[in-house]
Structure 1
Amino acid sequence: MGQTLCICSRGSITIDNKRYYFIQKLDEGGFSYVDLVEGVQDGRFYALKRILCHDREGHREAQTEVEMHRLFSHPNILGLAGHTFIERGGKSEAWILLPYVQVCAMEVKGTREAMTVQDWAAQRCTISYRAPELFNVESHCVIDDRTDIWSLGCVLYSMMFLEGPYDMVFQKGDSVALAVQNPVTIPQPCSYSEGLQNLLSSIMVSNPQERPDVNWILDQIQDMTCSSPNTQTNMERMVLKGGEERRGVEEGRGGEERRKGGEGGEERRRGGEGGEERS
């Protein structure tokens, strides 16, 4: 493979002309491994994600993941420290170097089409964050952004209680597919505001048709921000601030589109006046 990790000794690798020492294995999934490495030059720890690319499609998907890390810059999103592709016998590995923050990163389809969606969900969606409708996709089932809202609720739950709502179910080997059919239980006593608890309960609804859309969630965050700014916990402030930033981005885009639309109307008006002058 050219530059391989030797887990039997203090092996080293090179990414972007920088050397890193292998420290230990952190975790592995169906198509990837995560190792802890240390930078030789800066002495900092990094998480090295190695993705097995069995074909060209796998290579393209890994490249897309690299681009996603490059595209976003936010304190709550892992930035890209470096990457490389290692070729071997027609196959390759994508090595993605990420900051080591000691936080577990969670990852994040008539009948034939339903099975395609179900298969895709099994490969791409972490089981304890997977929406109920993705475990057994019916042919008449509607899959839209409310499916992602469920996963958002799982992330919010994890931020509030430091573990996912179904992590223990999965760790015990019980059926997550059955567990997600029941309403989520918020641990009590709970130090978070009633508004945030109600928001979480509204999101974690098994029936996707009864789940709110993202605009409703942003409205609720806006209301909570205005109603009780002095009684919010640090986590609530972080969640509400993220909602405000998202709202600002959406409103900024809408204003820019309206401005461009106004400019286009002005140009058409001027063009009409020019036509009248020529006539």
Structure 2
Amino acid sequence: MGQSMCICSRGFITVDNKKYYFVQKLDEGGFSYVDLVEGVKDGHFYALKRILCHDREGRQEAQMEIEMHQMFNHPNILSLVAHTFVERGGKTEAWLLLPYMSKGSLWSVLEKLRDKGSLMPEKQILQIFRGICAGLKAIHERGYAHRDIKPTNVLLDENDKPVLMDMGSMNRARIEVRGSREAMSIQDWAAQRCTISYRAPELFNVESHCIIDERTDIWSLGCVLYCMMMQEGPYDLIFQKGDSVALAVQNPVTIPQSCRYSEGLKVLLSSMMVTNPQERPNISWVLDQVQDLQSCSPNTQTNMV
């Protein structure tokens, strides 16, 4: 790569001879940390994602995430500014320098609306959702699936343009399962990498002979749309109560009667959240429906509960 990156005593990192000041910690997960840094010369903010690689397999997974970022140049997919692997305290870390989105995640925006007792206007839902679909379409067209679409993996810029992030769960869109051992392996992988309340039904109990394809993302996308409309995912409360999400996803999703959005948006939601993956639409169809809804009801507004 020809890139060097080091943490210096004065609180800045150097990437390709460009200095970035450390500003503050942003987030922390099981195997990764995200810090806010500022470019010394350009004054722009960036997010530095540090992935802890505990073994060779961990390093390979981090490398795959880097390659997934590099594969795409799309306005609705988070770009990669720079990257490298560093040794710190005898352990390897993968460092990914990413653009910083000041508005935060879609989830954080929905939380703020919920705290105010407000709902997101349908026009805004359609605008954001269209961008999410456009990014996902680019991923599917390259023969890959994201596998972890959820509101916290969608970032928004100041103009509400969404970008998909966290490419660590991405893999080939079409996976042919041959036998119970392969089925259990994929099921275990999904349990680790695909967020339970947004996970497609076919990933909970993988059949011994089947094909898993990119329509797992369509289910998750439906959960995201539901969350934008209701400010919580359809299975969030079930998971929080400790009940079985695997059992709950076997039944059709229920849209509350109190939902005040258009019938067109409700129909779109129901069409994606179909238990049988063979009956789910592809991303191109979903994107077409969103565009049709935008043209039919450009001024639809729903603001208050």
Q: Which TM-score band applies after superposition, normalised by the shorter structure?
A: 0.5 to 0.7
Q: Using the TM superposition, name which of 68-77 and 143-152 deviates more.
A: 68-77
Distance 1:94 1:205, change over 3 A: same
Say whether 1:50 aligns with 2:50.
yes
Whether contact under 8 Å (2:12, 2:19) holds in the other structure is no
Say whether 1:179 aligns with 2:248.
yes
Distance 1:229 1:49, change over 3 A: same
- 1: CA distance, partners of 2:44 / 2:243: 38
Say whether 1:20 aligns with 2:28.
no
Instruction: Using CA pairs under 8 Å that are at least 6 residues apart, name the structure with larger relative contact order, 1 or 2.
Output: 2
2:191 corresponds to: 122
Q: Shift of the alpha carbon at 1:136?
A: 2.0
Distance 1:173 1:46, change over 3 A: farther
SS of 1:70's equivalent in the other structure is helix
Larger Rg: 1
Residues 227-266 of structure 1 mapped to structure 2, 5 A cutoff: 228-232=296-300
2:85 corresponds to: 85
Unaligned runs of 5+ in 1: 235-279
- 2: CA distance, partners of 1:233 / 1:91: 52
Residues 121-140 of structure 1 mapped to structure 2, 5 A cutoff: 121-140=190-209
Aligned-pair identity in percent equals 68
Q: Shift of the alpha carbon at 1:114?
A: 0.5
Higher fraction of helix: 1
Whether contact under 8 Å (1:54, 1:91) holds in the other structure is yes
- 2: CA distance, partners of 1:18 / 1:79: 19
1:261 corresponds to: none
How many residues are matched? 228
Higher fraction of strand: 2
Distance 1:77 1:187, change over 3 A: farther
Letter in 2 for 1:72: F
Compute the RMSD of aligned alpha carbons: 3.3
- 1: CA distance, partners of 2:34 / 2:232: 20
- 2: CA distance, partners of 1:99 / 1:187: 37
Distance 1:89 1:147, change over 3 A: same
2:262 corresponds to: 193
Match of 2:233 among 155, 164, 176: 164
TM-score, scaled to structure 1: 0.66
Unaligned runs of 5+ in 2: 106-151, 155-165, 168-176
